[in-house]
Amino acid sequence: LCAQISFSFNYSSFSHAGYSYCGDTAAYAFKQIVPENVDRVFVLGPSHVVCLNGCALTTCSKYRTPIGDLHIDVEVNDELRATRQFDLMDRSDEEAEHSIEMQMPFIAKIMEG
């Protein structure tokens, strides 16, 4: 038997340049998101620190932002890891990486409440 799965997928692409370069544009784009329509957020970014052959998952359970913590869906992370299609990002490499950190406060602000 085949299970029928229904889902919708929406995405946005954001620059990871500094706020002084693209903060206004990013804020405008994030403002278009309707939090009630969001079940889960996946944030993907390139690695400037380590060479990856594919995609790596965080080992963190949350990301801290000035606005508040963003909690990682550890269960989904574990499910993705169980597929053996993903590596784990070393914590020190992840802390040195900047490609997704610019988006985190916007996500925290939009999704708060």
From CA 44, how far away is CA 107, in angstroms rounded? 13
Average pLDDT, integer, range 32-36? 89
The DSSP code for 57 is E
State residue 11's pLDDT score.
Answer: 66
State residue 1's pLDDT score.
Answer: 46
**Of 8 and 48, the one with more pLDDT:** 48
Q: What is the CA radius of gyration of the chain?
A: 15
Express as a percent the part of the chain with pLDDT over 90.
47
Helix (DSSP H) and strand (DSSP E) numbers for the chain: 4, 4
Going by pLDDT thresholds of 50, 70 and 90, the confidence category of residue 102 is confident
